[in-house]
Chains A and B, each alone.
Chain A
Amino acid sequence: MRDYIIKRLFQMIPTIIVITLVVFAMMQAIPGDPIISLLGDAYDEEDAEKLRGEYGLNKPIYVQYFRWVSKLMRGDWGESILSGRSILNDVLIRLPVTIELIIVAMIVALIIAIPAGIIAAIRQNTWGDYTAMSTAMIGISIPDFFLGVLLLLLFSISMNGFLPSSGWVYLPGTCPSVVCEASWWGNFKHVVMPAIALGVGRAAILTRLLRASMLEIIRMEYVTTARAKGLGERLVILKHALKNALIPTVTIMGLQIGFLIGGAIVVETLFAIPGLGTYGINAIIARDYQQVQGFILLVAISFVVLNFLVDLVYSFLDPRIRYN
């Protein structure tokens, strides 16, 4: 087990190095001049040239790359050229919001998927199954931003602002700044629609997966205990099936986080939530290269680490699975 961990850690390192190269290369490939964004309507060619020199933007690419990476290794994610602010700071301010959104979306997904998957598996090929599966099919097919628009229409516009159409209220005690609104109810009102928009798609996938895993296990169990008598036996099989089906389901859930992060970008934009997604999009639109670089690198590395952790959990659980 320890060897496996070490082996995987070693595998991660070249991946991360290549990721930094790829991210840096992509930034260089994006057309545009950050100094133009910096100076804006006050743009003057002379000043621009001087600033380019100051920020080291006219140095050869590999020099710029090494400076960036060496700063990273010292824990310095650098500053935005446009705002002068520390990228790490700004990311940390926004991270909790996105994390909350993703967690609530996952909870929504599980609340929907677990009962639906169980019912569909138990009542296979009956109305319950078909309903659950059709709903899941719809859930997979509807883009999360369109679902968001529908929810907006239903709960915000039609009901005259019952649920707010945008913005954010923080959870009490998590205020990132001196002045902010914080309340439990306010936070709930702001997070519920985007979380549902994000979570439904995941719920659909998880439902199908849970159903399929449970069916596979049930079938096998049923075959080996073909002469099971009475309700008691079936219940035991079902509980056993559920427990074992949850393992791959939870594992997949971990991997779905990638889609959740991507979906969060779009949903945050729709609902104007001050999270990491809008931070990234704003940075990209403003061509704030330092911010985009830092943001993408952070997301990619977290993703790699997350996958690694999920793999660990999975391989840890693996010996206990008696199939295959």
Chain B
Amino acid sequence: MKRFLLTAVAVGEAVPAAPAKARSETLWAQTSRRLKRSNTAVFGLLVVVALILVAAFADVLAPYSATDTNPNAMFQMPNSQHLLGTDQLGRDMLSRIIYGSRVSLTVGLSSVVLAVFIGLPLGLIAGYYGRLYDTLVMRAMDVILSFPVILLAIIIMVMFTPTDGFWGIIKVTMAVAIVRIPIYARLVRGSVLSIKEKEYIEACHALGQRDVKVLLKHILPNCLAPLIVAGTLSVATAIIVEASLSFLGVGIQPPTPSWGWDLKANVAWIQDNAWLALAPGFAIFITVLSFNLFGDGLRDALDPRLK
């Protein structure tokens, strides 16, 4: 129960699985088999893949540029020329949504990768070596966790000064990653702690195997499963955090199209042109939903006992 709660706390948004006990080789085969059976998970995965393709091929798919203004076509209702209408500057909303996926997906995926990249070794060290390292790492994680996620992300962005374009995305990615590191550090540490007690690890020590080898060969693979689940589900949270930052005006800046920014900017016109605010909102919703569905399915597939 305690372990259950700790990991629930660590992930924060859903209930993840306990570390899998099966050996790695058959784990993936088992997982994909179970995954295929879940309709919602497959659906989630398909949408995620579709979104990634849209973001990658935005230049080809978008009918117009996301930033070209057209003073003669402002506030058009959805029509054959502009499937989602145009905004205050005459920009095509559909193109803005398509290009906006780039920001959300890039930030969502990269921030998780970055957070895992930093959190994983921290958790390994804290869990495996214990004592001083454990205290130091966990205190640091505590400090980060003492701030509400969005508040800390806002402050970090203000420190970096929000900009647009490539560097703007880097900054947002870093801000979101920093606030997510503690989750992975704690998760990995928890896994490491429970595996460390196993006899075969002691056997490795008795055999004189070096620490690094023990870590990489035995401990790490068993941490991966919950990590992947947490990571997938985290992408959803990361996208929401990025959208919140843009909504408050401290995320990626215009003219780079961003769903959160468009949502905030177009709420001003919600009386007469509601779809301008609804479109980016739904885009965020669908994206987050698909990652959640896939992540949930992945978790259930890895350890169906908790279903």
The judgment on whether A and B are partners is: yes
Q: Which residues of A contact B (CB under 8 A)?
A: 14-15, 18-19, 22, 26, 29-31, 137-138, 140-143, 145-146, 149-150, 152-153, 157, 205, 208-209, 212, 216, 248, 251-252, 255, 258-259, 261-263, 265-266, 269-270, 280-281, 284-285, 292, 296, 299-301, 303-304, 307, 314, 318, 321, 323-324
CA distance in complex: A323, B247 (Å): 44
Out of A137, A149, A265, name the residue touching B263 (CB < 8 Å).
Answer: A149
Q: Do residues A146 and B281 form an inter-chain contact, with CB atoms below 8 A?
A: yes
* Known contacts A263-B150, A304-B142, then 19 further A-B pairs from the complex at CB < 8 Å, ordered by chain A residue: A14-B139, A15-B142, A15-B146, A19-B143, A22-B143, A141-B236, A149-B263, A149-B270, A153-B274, A248-B4, A258-B145, A265-B154, A266-B247, A284-B155, A296-B155, A299-B148, A300-B146, A303-B147, A304-B146
Whether A269 touches B248, Cβ cut-off 8 Å, given contacts A31-B161, A150-B281, A263-B150, is yes
Q: Is B306 located at the chain interface by the 8 A CB criterion?
A: yes
- Give the chain A neighbours of B270 by CB distance below 8 A: 149, 152-153, 157
Q: Do residues A143 and B243 form an inter-chain contact, with CB atoms below 8 A?
A: yes
- Give the chain A neighbours of B13 by CB distance below 8 A: 140, 205
CA distance in complex: A138, B293 (Å): 10
- Give the chain B neighbours of A18 by CB distance below 8 A: 139, 143
- Give the chain A neighbours of B4 by CB distance below 8 A: 216, 248, 324
Q: Do residues B9 and A252 form an inter-chain contact, with CB atoms below 8 A?
A: yes
- Give the chain A neighbours of B243 by CB distance below 8 A: 143, 145
Q: Is B12 located at the chain interface by the 8 A CB criterion?
A: yes
Q: Do residues A324 and B2 form an inter-chain contact, with CB atoms below 8 A?
A: yes
Whether A266 touches B274, Cβ cut-off 8 Å, given contacts A19-B143, A140-B14, is no
Tell me which of B123-131, B207-215, B284-292 binds A.
B284-292
The range of chain B's interface size is: 35 or more
Instruction: List residues 1-54 of chain B with CB under 8 A from any CB of chain A.
Output: 1-5, 8-9, 12-15
Annotate B231-274 by CB proximity to A: 1 below 8 A, 0 otherwise: 00000100010011001111000000000000100010011001
Nearest CB of A to B212, in Å: 30
Q: Is B176 located at the chain interface by the 8 A CB criterion?
A: no
Please classify the interface of chain B as helix (H, G, I), strand (E, B), loop, or mixed, using the class held by over half of its residues.
helix
Q: Do residues A266 and B150 form an inter-chain contact, with CB atoms below 8 A?
A: yes
Q: Is B303 located at the chain interface by the 8 A CB criterion?
A: no
Please classify the interface of chain A as helix (H, G, I), strand (E, B), loop, or mixed, using the class held by over half of its residues.
helix
Nearest CB of A to B118, in Å: 17
Annotate B127-166 by CB proximity to A: 1 below 8 A, 0 otherwise: 0000000000001001101111111001110110100000
21 sampled A-B residue pairs with Cβ under 8 A:
A18-B139, A138-B289, A142-B285, A143-B243, A143-B285, A145-B243, A145-B244, A146-B284, A149-B267, A149-B277, A149-B278, A157-B270, A208-B15, A209-B8, A266-B244, A281-B154, A296-B147, A299-B148, A299-B151, A314-B5, A324-B2
In this complex, what residue of B is CB-closest to A14? B139
Q: Do residues B151 and A265 form an inter-chain contact, with CB atoms below 8 A?
A: yes
Out of A14, A30, A261, A321, name the residue touching B148 (CB < 8 Å).
Answer: A261
In this complex, what residue of B is CB-closest to A302? B146
Q: Do residues A323 and B148 form an inter-chain contact, with CB atoms below 8 A?
A: no
Nearest CB of A to B41, in Å: 12
Most buried by B among A18, A146, A205: A146
Nearest CB of A to B205, in Å: 27
Q: Do residues B285 and A26 form an inter-chain contact, with CB atoms below 8 A?
A: no
Q: Do residues B151 and A296 form an inter-chain contact, with CB atoms below 8 A?
A: yes
Whether A281 touches B248, Cβ cut-off 8 Å, given contacts A137-B289, A137-B292, A153-B274, is yes
Whether A30 touches B1, Cβ cut-off 8 Å, given contacts A143-B288, A149-B277, A150-B281, is no
Q: Do residues A143 and B284 form an inter-chain contact, with CB atoms below 8 A?
A: yes
Most buried by A among B4, B143, B278, B293: B143
In this complex, what residue of B is CB-closest to A209? B15
CA distance in complex: A261, B147 (Å): 10
Nearest CB of B to A209, in Å: 6
Nearest CB of B to A273, in Å: 14
CA distance in complex: A248, B2 (Å): 9
